[in-house]
């Protein structure tokens, strides 16, 4: 974001420095293998155009005094809260420095995108006493043992194996990884897709939550301070310990004070889940869907679009304490098709899904950083220009049809147009994708990965994503040139009449883009 944006953000939140984030004062996050981290996106800060990591491969993972990761299979919850790593992050932020674990957010802001640091700090600044929290912080960065917000990844058990995932986060990925990894030729891709010792490094294990009784004792002791419990992948809705925790919170009488938050694929949603949700203060359910029809089936393999739509309607009829948004993982495979996804969502006339002002009435987005060969920055410039032209046309359509975003709200056009999570967010995504060109380093990985995954899963990238098919034939020596076949593809009618792209738009000066 610009200096003006940062200044306005600080005025709203009362943040003590330009680099401040509230999360290290209220929050801890886990990985499925038990590693603790500053937040769920901190370890993406070392992802770049190559695998040469300026700050090392474990950025964002909390370290113990011996330099090894703080892992819940061999340590407890509260020892991470004030370990040297966390204290140093807090001190750096108070001093206006940028911790290496947080560079992802700063980079997104520089590209004009609304970062997790910005929106989480703004959210929590309205729910805690920021000045009191700062006053409680010692010179060494230590704070009282009060966790308000916990991100729990209770192992890797999952019922999907999304194309951007891995066995680190999905147990269903394991058979495909066994077929894929030995055949990879590109050394960088092979490193990216490693699963060293099947994830059991430095004491890690995907069953940490089943054996660490001290973790559960400490967690239950923190429940009186807790304001939000966040569950993500694996897939919490099929993990028994997730239900056990909710039932215990209800039993202890704290459910009415706690917000539940999920990132979930929504494949399995038993009545037991809805019955428990009724007991809690509020539920924020982020439905993980990344595109429409066969494109979403390809990305979130092996989901089926008919079932995905069925679950949309189930979620659209949940209780009054349940808030539902679409959590779209923006990546190389779907950024071009986001206008189609948003348009589809708006035309469904859902009653509560991304109800204004959530996502400005459209959908919510977050970037895929790992695997890096699916990050939006891998796309060559000519494809980014094509995407930009399509977004421009879509924004014109949105401005004509903005009331589709509003539901029953009486908010004005100006309020909608200036919303941070609407058109500004779409433009921020373009700016971020165009802020770096990883194509020469990462496109060879992209091409090999897609081709090999198609072979393993019997899928067909060219058929599912026809506008992207020429990417599989691209070579670094081609530079920004387009062949005739691709030109014709760009000039034909896109997936609906609203997004026609003409040659003049495609060849306009990049400064106008």
Please give the mean pLDDT across all residues of the chain.
89
Tokens of 493: 């009618």
Cα 349 to Cα 362: distance, rounded to the nearest angstrom: 11
Residue owning tokens 């003049």: 504
Lowest mean pLDDT among 61-70, 138-147, 339-348, 372-381: 61-70
- How far apart CA 241 and CA 233 sit, in angstroms, is 13
Greatest alpha-carbon span in the chain: 67
List pLDDT tens digits, range 477-487: 766 554 434 44
Give 139's contacts (C-beta < 8 A, 6+ positions apart).
none
Contact 289, 258 (CB under 8 A): no
Nearest to 370 by CA among 99, 119, 57: 57
Judge whether residue 508 has pLDDT over 50.
Answer: no
pLDDT band at 63 (very low <50, low <70, confident <90, very high): confident
Query: For residue 128, with 0-12 CB atoms within 10 Å meaning exposed, 13-18 middle and 19 or more buried, which class applies?
Result: middle
- Write out the H or E segment, with its range, that includes residue 58: none
pLDDT digit string (tens) for 245-275?
A: 999 999 999 999 999 999 999 999 999 999 9
**pLDDT more than 70, % of the chain:** 88
- What are the tens digits of pLDDT across the range 166-192? 999 999 999 999 999 999 999 999 999
State the first-to-last Cα distance of the chain, in angstroms, to the nearest integer.
18
Q: Are 90 and 141 in contact (CB under 8 A)?
A: yes
* Angle of CA points 304, 306, 310, to nearest 5°: 115
The secondary element (H helix, E strand) that includes residue 306 is helix 305-315
Asked if 373 and 446 count as a contact pair (C-beta separation under 8 A), the reply is yes
**What digits encode the pLDDT tens for the residues 362-400?**
999 999 999 999 999 999 999 999 999 999 999 999 999
Q: What percent of the chain has pLDDT over 90?
A: 76
pLDDT class of 474 with cuts at 50, 70, 90: confident
pLDDT digits 0-9 by tens, 394-431 = 999 999 999 999 999 999 999 999 998 999 999 999 99
Residue 226's contacts (CB-CB under 8 Å, 6 or more residues apart) are 147, 148, 149, 150, 254, 257, 258
**0.85 exceeded by pTM:** yes
Q: Rounded to the nearest 5 degrees, what angle is found at the Cα of 90, between the Cα atoms of 86 and 93?
A: 140
Q: Quickly state the pLDDT bin for 51 (edges 50, 70, 90).
A: confident
């Amino acid at each position: 974001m610009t200096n003006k944006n940062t200044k306005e953000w600080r005025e709203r939140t009362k943040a003590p420095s330009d680099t401040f984030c509230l999360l290290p004062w209220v929050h801890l996050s886990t990985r499925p293998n038990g590693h603790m981290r500053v937040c769920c996106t901190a370890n993406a800060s070392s992802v770049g155009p190559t695998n040469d990591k300026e700050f090392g491969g474990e950025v964002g993972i909390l370290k113990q005094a011996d330099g090894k990761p703080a892992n819940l299979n061999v340590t407890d919850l509260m020892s991470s809260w004030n370990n040297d790593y966390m204290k140093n992050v807090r001190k750096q932020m108070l001093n206006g420095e940028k911790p290496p674990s947080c560079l992802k957010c700063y980079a997104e802001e520089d590209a004009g995108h609304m970062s997790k640091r910005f929106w989480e700090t703004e959210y929590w600044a309205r729910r805690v006493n920021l000045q009191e929290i700062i006053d409680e912080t010692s010179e060494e960065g230590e704070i009282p043992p009060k966790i308000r917000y916990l991100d729990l990844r209770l192992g890797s058990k999952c019922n999907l194996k999304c194309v951007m995932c891995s066995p680190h986060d999905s147990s269903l990925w394991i058979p495909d990884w066994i077929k894929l990894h030995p055949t990879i030729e590109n050394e960088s891709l092979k490193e990216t897709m490693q699963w060293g010792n099947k994830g059991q490094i430095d004491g890690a294990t995907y069953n940490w939550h089943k054996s660490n009784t001290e973790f559960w004792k400490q967690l239950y002791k923190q429940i009186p301070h807790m304001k939000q419990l966040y569950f993500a992948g694996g897939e919490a809705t099929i993990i028994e310990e997730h239900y056990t925790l909710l039932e215990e919170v209800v039993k202890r009488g704290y459910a009415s004070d706690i917000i539940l938050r999920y990132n979930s694929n929504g494949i399995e949603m038993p009545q037991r889940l809805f019955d428990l949700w009724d007991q809690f203060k509020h539920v924020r359910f982020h439905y993980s869907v990344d595109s429409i029809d066969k494109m979403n089936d390809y990305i979130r393999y092996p989901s089926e679009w008919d079932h995905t739509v069925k679950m949309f309607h189930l979620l659209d009829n949940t209780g009054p304490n349940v808030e539902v948004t679409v959590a779209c993982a923006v990546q190389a495979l779907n950024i071009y098709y986001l206008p189609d996804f948003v348009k589809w969502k708006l035309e469904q006339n859902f009653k509560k899904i991304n109800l204004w002002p959530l996502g400005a009435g459209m959908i919510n987005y977050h970037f895929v950083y790992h695997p890096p060969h699916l990050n939006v920055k891998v796309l060559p410039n000519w494809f980014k220009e094509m995407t930009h032209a399509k977004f421009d046309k879509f924004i014109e359509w949105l401005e004509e049809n903005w009331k589709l975003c509003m539901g029953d709200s009486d908010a004005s056009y100006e309020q909608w147009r200036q919303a941070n999570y609407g058109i500004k967010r779409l433009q921020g995504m373009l700016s971020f994708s165009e802020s770096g060109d990883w194509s020469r380093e990462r496109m060879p990985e992209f091409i090999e990965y897609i081709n090999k995954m198609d072979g393993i899963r019997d899928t067909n990238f060219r058929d599912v994503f026809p506008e992207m098919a020429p990417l599989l034939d691209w070579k670094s020596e081609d530079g920004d040139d387009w062949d005739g076949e691709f030109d014709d593809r760009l000039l034909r009618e896109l997936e609906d009449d609203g997004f026609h792209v003409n040659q003049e738009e495609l060849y306009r000066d990049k400064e106008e883009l």
